[in-house]
Amino acid sequence: MSAQAGTTLRFTQPVDGDILNRHDGRQTPDGLTIEVSGVAPAGRTVTVNGVPASREAETFRATVTVTEFETELTARTGDQSATVKVYWDRNSYPRYRFSTDDNVWFLHDLADHQDEWHSIFDQFYLAFWREMHRRYGAKFQFNIYYHDDFRPGDFTLPKLSDKFKSEWQENADWLRLTFHAYANEPRDPYINCTYEEMAHDYRLVTDEIVRFAGAELVSPYTTRRGRTGGNLHPRRERLASELLFHRRAGRAHEPAGLLAGHGGASVVPPARHHPKRLSIGADPPAAGRDRRGPPPVRGDRDDDPRAEVIEMMIHEQYFWPDFRGHQPDAQDKVIAGLEWLAERGYKSVWYEDGFLGATE
C-alpha cells in the first residue's frame, strides 16, 4: 500500500482536549489565532473550519481563530474528516494551586487533643500552613483519608468533633479539604473498583468534612490516591472534577468533562533553588522521556513557557518525625517552592474560581 493511500487525516497539533492560552498564538479581544497542523494524504486539498491549509508532502498547516471558550476544529479532505475540541483559557496568567496528599495524621492529632486545644492552629502542621499563608498569601488544599490505618488508635473522621467548626470556616478563604481515599492502604485502592464504590468513600469523607468544618471547606477538585482501572467511570455527581495523571492539561469530554493535568509534581530540596513542579499546558514529552513523570526543570522556567498553571504538592507524612520516611527539611522545601513562585509573580488560586483559577 502506498504512503498516500495509507495516510489517515488527523491533527497533530493541537490534540483533542487541549487548553490553549495567550502563548499558543496571537490573542486579541476578538479571539486567539493559532496555527494547527496534521497529516493527510499528499496532494489533496485540506481545509480546517473552511480555511484552506498549506501542504508539504503529508503535512498540512492552517491558521484559524478560536473565538469561544470551547471550539471544535474540523479538518476535511475528500471523504475524510477529523475533529478535535480545544478550550481557550482567555484570562490566563501565571498561577498555581498547592495541595497536600495522604492527609489524616493532623486530624487524628486534633481529635486526640480536642479537649485541651483551643484552636486548630495549636496543631503544628496546620500552624505551619497558616504561617505560609500569612507570609506568601498562599492557599492550601488538603486531600484527606477517612481512616488512619498507620498510627495507633484506630482513628476515623467521626472521632473529630465539630468543636473547631467556626474556626475552620473563618479560614475557608485559604484552606480547603477534600477526599483522597478511604485510607492509605492499599496503594491503589480504586484500581478495580466501580464508580459506586469510589463514590461511597467520597461521600464518607465529604460528609464528615461538612460536619466538622463546614461545606465552605469542601473543594470540588481532588487527586484520588493511586491508579484507577477500567471499571471506574467518573460522573459529575458529587465527585465533580478530578485531576488525572496525564501528559498535559486537557478536558475529557465524556462522560464527565473532567480536567486533566500532568501528575506527580512535588517540591524538592531548597538547594535546588526552585521546585519541581507540574506545569499544565506543556508540550508532549520528547522522545524517550517518561510521559508519567513531571517535565524537566531548566533554568528558572519550565521547559514550556506557555504553561502558566503550576501544581505544587507535598505529602503530610514527611513532616512527622516518627514517620520512617520523615524529611527534616520538608518545611524548607515548601518555603523554597513558595519563594520561587513569589519571585516570578505566580498567584495562588482555587481552580473552582474561574477557569483553572483564572478570573476576569
Other C-beta atoms lying within 10 Å of the C-beta of residue 213 = 25
Least confident of 72-86, 161-175, 256-270, 302-316: 256-270
CB 221 within 8 A of CB 170: no
Residue 164 pLDDT: 97
Same-domain check for residues 84 and 106: no
- For residues 18, 21, 22 and 28, what is the CA-based torsion angle, rounded to 10 degrees? 90
- The amino acid at residue 208 is E
* Cell numbers describing residue 245: 495523571
Least confident of 52-66, 180-194, 247-261: 247-261
* Cell numbers describing residue 11: 491533527
Instruction: Judge whether residue 92 has pLDDT over 80.
Output: yes
CATH of residue 59: 2.60.40.10
Same-domain check for residues 43 and 119: no
Same-domain check for residues 221 and 203: yes
- pLDDT tens profile 93-128: 888 889 998 999 999 999 999 999 999 999 999 999
Identify the band that residue 272 occupies on the pLDDT scale cut at 50, 70 and 90.
very low
Q: Which domain holds residue 163?
A: 95-348
* pLDDT higher at 119 or 287: 119
Q: What is the pTM of this model?
A: 0.75
CB 73 within 8 A of CB 324: no
* pLDDT higher at 217 or 265: 217
Instruction: Judge whether residue 42 has pLDDT over 90.
Output: yes
Helices and strands (H and E) in the chain: how many: 6, 23
Number of domains in the chain: 2
Same-domain check for residues 224 and 126: yes
* Cell numbers describing residue 320: 512527622
Same-domain check for residues 134 and 244: yes
CB 2 within 8 A of CB 43: no
Query: Residues of the chain with pLDDT > 90: what percent?
Result: 48
* pLDDT higher at 322 or 110: 110
Least confident of 115-129, 165-179, 296-310: 296-310
